[in-house]
Amino acid sequence: MPETTSAPQSLAQLAADGENGGGVPIELIEVSKRYGSTSDAAVDDLTMTIPAGQIVVLLGPSGCGKTTTMRMINRLIEPTSGRITIGEMDARAQKPDELRRHIGYVIQQAGLFPHMTVASNIAQVPQMLGWDGQRITRRVDELLELVGLAPSEFRGRYPRQLSGGQQQRVGVARALAADPPVLLMDEPFGALDPITRESLQDELLRLQEELSKTIVFVTHDVDEALKLGDRIAILDTGSKIVQYATPEEILANPASDYVEQFVGGESSMKLLKLTRVRDVALENAVRTAADEDVAEVRRRMEEAECDWAVVLDDQERPLRWESRADLEDASGPIGDLPSGEEDRIDTVISGRSTLQEAVEALINADQEVVPVVGRRRRYVGAVTLSTVQQAISEVKERERRLRRERLAAGESAVSVTAAPAASGATAEGGDRS
């Protein structure tokens, strides 16, 4: 008899099948919410697609409807009208309690139960799902490891025995307990000091690389949104989408004065923080080994129209720079030249560094050029200030071109930027992995 497969009927089934890999898409279709008989809708006719496996940030002023929007996804709030689908299934067709067991939810100040240990807090949903004791214990320890807390030290503690950052980590572990395809995070780091906040943001990005959940993240903080969001929805009163786009696109091409004001000035500086060295065209210095003859290096520099040569060791690690001027009257093996302090390479950056870190390295090392290295410190290229300048103008130019193309295709800025991630903007401008 042929095997029959039927589409999953609930999020529970989908999660149990384990076929969603990371996340599932969420669609909000003409969703509105009115509280009581007030005339103004808290959410007014919102339509948006949240692509599977991405972090989508809802960013907007206080009271614009971010929390209401998020809570309608897990049915803590019921829409007045419209439809929400999660993994292509209608949220209304599922029992709210069951739905919520498969949607992780993290709020400010973690919301842990104070009278329960860390382990019991994390174990809540697995217990409701009827997992056996051993499986729960294993899962609790695995999750504590995942969020960077040693299980032996932390599983027996009570929330009051944790710092704010640790509580928040436990909150994230609890939300991930049943491996839900969707995580809702409502200002989860809002109450933390800036340093803890930044380290938890880094942790979230690291986790997301591993887990690829669909994450809806609410914040007021523009820098947090730019750092975490694969896409950002900038909202005005009534959760009206003013722009829905990648951080790069929002910075390079704000859709309106409202967005520009909201994101604030210094958009080029913000782009420096978003762009990674590995994603830009690096300078080509001529590579040379210590035993190569100066005349030959000079010839290759002329041929390549390169002002710099980099001397590498036998593992291709950068040792020092030589400029054309340095080599002008020299002869013999390049490694035998007397080299000044200023030529020695002490500072290197990795491809994962941001352009902002590259600029800092250039300034701190007081060098015109800084090498970029890959694994085992192997030389892969070099960055100068003009590399950085060029990269930023290219991002801006690319975003302008994409916008012109869209406008020429007759699409309005808002409707296009609110389209699903399959649009060209994401393919060309949005890959931040």
Ligand X SMILES: Nc1ncnc2c1ncn2[C@@H]1O[C@H](COP(=O)(O)OP(=O)(O)OP(=O)(O)O)[C@@H](O)[C@H]1O
Closest to ligand X by CB, 78 vs 202, is 78
Sheet holding 286-289, edge to edge: 286-289, 308-312, 318-323
Coil vs helix vs strand at 344: strand
> What kind and span of H or E run contains 48?
strand 43-50
Task: Give me the least distance between CB of 61 and ligand X, in Å please.
Answer: 7
Site track 210-229 with ligand X (rule: CB under 6 A), x = hit: ----------x---------
Q: Does 79 participate in binding ligand X (rule CB under 6 A)? A: no
The two tokens of residue 228 are 């975490």
Using the contact rule CB under 6 A, the part of the chain among 59-67, 168-176, 202-210, 250-258 near ligand X is 59-67
Among 17, 19, 21, 63, binds ligand X (CB under 6 A): 63
Number of H helices, E strands in the chain: 18, 16
Which residue lies nearer to ligand X by CB, 218 or 416? 218
The nearest distance, CB 38 to ligand X, in angstroms, is: 7
* Total of chain residues touching ligand X, rule CB under 6 A: 11
Binding status of residue 332 toward ligand X by CB under 6 A: no
42 binds ligand X (CB under 6 A): yes
User: What does residue 323 show for φ and ψ, rounded to 5 degrees?
Assistant: -95, 165
68, 239 contact by CB (below 8 A)? yes
Q: Which of 239, 232, 240, 193 is nearest to 216 (CA)?
A: 232
Question: How many of the other CB atoms lie within 10 Å of CB of 408?
Answer: 8
Residues 254-273 that bind ligand X (CB under 6 A): none
* Site membership for ligand X, residue 23 (CB under 6 A): no
SS3 132: coil
Which one of residues 9, 17, 35, 135 is an interface residue with ligand X (CB under 6 A)?
35
Beta carbons within 10 angstroms of residue 333's beta carbon = 15
d(CA 404, CA 394): 15
Tell which one of 20, 49, 67, 246 touches ligand X (CB under 6 A): 67
Residue 344 pairs in a beta bridge with 320
Q: Check binding of 68 to ligand X (CB under 6 A).
A: yes
Nearer to ligand X (CB atom), residue 240 or residue 287: 240
> Is residue 64 part of the contact set for ligand X (CB under 6 A)?
yes
Q: Shortest approach of ligand X to residue 66 CB, angstroms?
A: 4
CB 335 within 8 A of CB 296: no
Residue 152 engages ligand X in binding (rule: CB under 6 A): no
Contact footprint for ligand X (CB under 6 A): 35, 42, 60, 62-68, 220
